[in-house]
Amino acid sequence: MDIGKSQISNSTTRNAGVALNTAWFDKIQVNTSAAERRAATLATRRSVKKHYQAAWLVKALQCIDLTTLAGDDTVGRIHRLCEKAKRPLRDDIIEKLGLASDPPQVGAVCVYPTMVPHAVQALRGSCIPVASVATGFPAGLTPLYIRLAEIKYAVDQGAAEIDVVINREQVLLQNWRGLYDEIAAMREACGEAHLKVILATGDLKTLRSVYKASMVAMQAGADFIKTSTGKEDVNATLPVSLTMVRALRDYGEMTGFQIGFKPAGGLKTAKDAMTWQILMKEELGRRWLEPDLFRFGASSMLADIERQLEHFTTGRYSALSHHALA
C-alpha cells in the first residue's frame, strides 16, 4: 500500500517586503457573517476517505511545527521531541503505508531560545529546521531592543526560523507605521532566518483589524503570518484564518511574493488538519499544502493523526496514550 509522496518543488522567492502603503488596506471591509458562513461550509464541502484521507494526513504531519514551550522544558524533553520529529510515525505504520524508503518527518521543531542549541544538536543530520519563539513571547511587551537581541541570540544559536509576536497595542491604536517599523526591524535581525509573524488574533477584536495587521506584517517582510501564540483566550479559528489567507492572496497578487500561513492554538485532531488543509487548497491552491508555505502550530494533533493512520492500516483504533509525543 503506497499512498505516494508529493513531487512539488519547495522553492519560493523570499518576501522582500515593500514600503508601507496603507492604501492597500485603509478602506477594507470584512463581512463577518459571510466569513463565518464560508468557514462553516469548509468541513462539509469535501468528503476525503480511505487512502486519499491517509495521503492528506501524511501531508499534514509534514507541516506540523512540533513544539514545546513549557516552563519546565529540559534538555531531555527537547531530545525526545526531536526524535519524535524525525520519526513521527511508528515503523510498522510507515511500512504499511509504503513509505519505508522515504519516511515522512515534521515541518520543524519549535522551542524557546535557550533550548535552540539542544534542538540543533538533536536534529543534526536531518533536514528538519529549528524554529524559536522570540520578542518577549507571548505578550510581546518587552522593549524593542531586547526583543531584537532575543532574535539575534536565537539565530546565533542555530534557529532557521523565528516566530515573533507583535505588540498588539500598535494594532488596537491603528499605529501602522509603528507596527511596520518594528516588524521590519525584526526581519533585519533575523538575517537569513525566516520570519513568522504571530498576530495573536484573539486580541485584535475584529476581522478587519486582522486583515490590516496581516497586510502590514507582509509589507514589512514577513515570510509567514501566524494566527496565535496558543496562549490567548481565543486562538486559531476558521473565520480568522480565512481573513488572513485572503490578505495573503491579495498581497501575492500585488507583489508576486508567496507568503506562508500558520494556524496555531486550539487545533488538536486529524479532522482539524483536514479542515485547514481544505481551506488552503480551496483558497490558494495545491502549492499551499507544502511545508514551506503552510505549517500547523498544533503538536497534539500529531497523536491523533498517527492514531487515524494506524486505523487506516490495521482497521483498529488504539488509545491516544499509545502515540505519545516524546
Q: Which residues are catalytic?
A: 163, 226, 262
Residue 99 CA to residue 91 CA, distance in Å, equals 10
Residue 269 buriedness (CB in 10 A; 0-12 / 13-18 / 19+):
middle
Per cent of the chain over pLDDT 90 is 87
Domain 47-319 has CATH 3.20.20.70: yes
pTM of the model as a whole: 0.94
Which pLDDT band holds residue 201 (cuts at 50, 70, 90)? very high
Cβ–Cβ < 8 Å for 175, 209:
no
Render pLDDT for 9-43 as a digit per residue (tens, 0 to 9): 455 789 999 999 999 999 999 999 999 999 999 87
Residue closest to 18 by CA, chosen among 287, 294, 252, 293: 252
Confidence (pLDDT) at 5 = 47
Render pLDDT for 269-317 as a digit per residue (tens, 0 to 9): 999 999 999 999 999 999 999 999 999 998 999 999 999 999 999 988 7
Residue 135 CA to residue 109 CA, distance in Å, equals 18
